[in-house]
Structure 1
Amino acid sequence: MELLETAGVNSAGGAIFKSMPGIAKPKVRFECEYVAESRDPIRGLTGPPIMATKTFDEVSSRQFDIILIPGGWIEPAKIPKPLAEFVRAQVLGAKYVLTVCTGSWLLAALGLLDGKRATSNKFQFNEIKKTTSSTIQWVAKARWVVDGHIWSSSGVTAGQDMAYEF
């Protein structure tokens, strides 16, 4: 997970618009929690570490309305079991699910995109398509795709555009 994958979506959540009169307000206002297995710093390939605000255990009885699944450079088969369990449980009950970059690959690996349309990171697009269910309709030429309550973006900056549309 990289900071840019979450920062752009967070800014689209509306807090920044309070100080900008005359600017179109977002359709949905949301506040973000960074949830992880522990509160240890989350280090991506670049940029500063991201600090979790809650652990999976701390929110185990809570259902979030909106779930953001950022990407990263880890194959879904190597995703830690607690993360996979958290994502599966939350996605099934969420009103909206947003994925950025390769975040859709994780959903696909968990069977949560079967029979749906989605997009993902263009650099890994062919690998993602090859290693996931044939029932997923992967859309190559799209900044983002909406299928029901799941919104998937093709990359980091496309994730920002998707969040503003959301």
Structure 2
Amino acid sequence: MPSERPRRFTFLLLDRFTMLPFAATLEPLRLANRAAGATLYEWRLVGASGDIARCSNGTCVVLDAGLDPNITLSRDDVVIVCGGTEIGREATKPVLNWLRKQARGGAMIGAICTGSWVIAAAGLLDGRKATIHWEFHDGFSEAYPDVDLFRSVFVDDGNRLSAAGGTSPIDLVLHLIAHSHGDDLAATVADQMLHTSIRTNQDSQRLSIPTRIGVRHPRLAAVIARMEENLEDPISPARLAADAGMSTRQLERLFRKYLNRSPKRYYMETRLGRARNLLMQTELSIIEVALASGFSSPSHFSKCYRAQYGSTPYRERGTGASNTPQSSPGA
């Protein structure tokens, strides 16, 4: 049965928040009201300016209010921090203090896309479970080691919620609807959104390796999975081949045939991708980034990085600013 009082969601729209995750959170609430024929959920939009919030796509959204320090939300309220590009710049003192106050008042604190970065900066995820868009996973892990970070589409850790971005907030909100008002209503809302498969907190954010590389070859996928799991301490091609039950030459031919590169080259590109994320998203020193990406020599790391990206790690760090993500997440 619907509760007597509607549950209120307060969306904190940070500057340059991403539109898709925001809409994917709000629309299931609207459709739940419509399907139930009653106001189960209410919402309002707040932001630091109190006027408008600009999306990463340039669209502006009119806010209902600013961050009034005199207002404390209750245990029935849910705050959703909507993140996007250049997220660290949004972890300002007024934003962090406002979030801490709402948490002290008992409000449930949630985040979508990169919003977990700001919640963690406020100290509200220490010792808690969370997720963040996969592009920012490595940088977040280094910046906030006390957070138990998952690669799932969403995480429900009691009074802390997080969804990775893109369409994943749909699944998080359907999970909340089902918990409060039953699976039938959640299924009805999903059907209205043409959301044909409701994901759980056990589902991974990213496409499977065969889908990502466009090749359905079990042994190739298994080798790539091992590479991705061992970026800090790379495994030799000979060991990868042996563990996959093939010779080194067979492994070479497999990578050449399907990916047009050697296993060593593919592994290098994957490690350099991680290094680039860490450079742009953290304050780790160049040597720390190199070590975290499997390079024991800073000079070798710099040489490989320049060959891949046309710029040295030092110059790349100079263009990215401080310790926070500057690139746009993929959703």
TM-score over 0.5 for the alignment?
A: yes
| Partner of residue 124, structure 1 | 136
More helix by share: 2
**Structure-2 change in CA distance of 1:18 and 1:107 (3 Å):** closer
Using the alignment, how far apart are the partners of 1:39 and 1:143 within structure 2? Answer: 30
Distance 1:6 1:29, change over 3 A: farther
- Correspondence list, 1:1-166, <5 A: 1-13=17-29, 15-20=30-35, 29-57=40-68, 60-64=70-74, 65-76=77-88, 79-132=91-144, 134-140=145-151, 142-166=152-176
Which sits farther off after the overlay, 36-45 or 111-120? 36-45
Greater length-normalized contact order (CA 8 Å, ≥ 6 residues apart): 1
Deviations 1:71-97 (A, max 9, x none): 112243652221121112113324422
> Is the CA contact 1:3–1:47 (under 8 Å) kept in the aligned structure 2?
no
Unmatched tracts of structure 2, length 5 or more: 1-16, 177-331
Shift of 1:116: 0.9
Q: Which letter maps to 2:22?
A: T
Moved over 6 A (4+): none
- How big is each residue's C-alpha offset from its partner over 1:137-159, in whole Å with a ceiling of 9 and x where there is no partner? 1112x111111211111123111
Q: How many residues align?
A: 156
Identity of aligned residues (%): 24
In 2 relative to 1, CA 152–78 (structure 1 residues): closer, same or farther, beyond 3 Å?
Answer: closer
Question: In 1, Cα distance between the equivalents of 2:150 and 2:138?
Answer: 11
Paired residues of 1:66 and 1:94 also in contact (CA < 8 A) = no
Q: Which amino acid aligns with 2:175?
A: E
Q: CA RMSD in A?
A: 2.1
CA change 1:98–1:18 in 2 (3 A) is same
Query: TM-score scaled to structure 1, two decimals?
Result: 0.82
Greater C-alpha radius of gyration: 2
Give 5+ residue unaligned stretches, structure 1.
Answer: none
CA contact (8 A) 1:34 1:52 kept: yes
Superposed displacement of residue 18, structure 1: 4.5
Aligned-residue offset at 1:19: 4.2
TM norm structure 2? 0.44
Name the amino acid aligned to 2:55: G
- Give the whole-Å Cα distance in 2 for the aligned partners of 1:52 and 1:99: 18
Please give the alpha-carbon distance, in whole angstroms, between the structure 2 residues aligned to 1:6 and 1:73: 14
Which residue type is aligned with residue 142 of structure 2?
A: K
Matched residue SS, 1:83: helix
The answer (yes or no) to whether the contact 1:3–1:50 under 8 Å persists in 2 is no
Deviates more, 1:148-157 or 1:88-97: 88-97
- In 1, the alpha carbon distance for the partners of 2:163 and 2:132 equals 6
Q: Deviations over 1:102-139 (max 9, x none)?
A: 1111111111101111111101110111111x221111
- The residue type paired with residue 81 of structure 1 is K
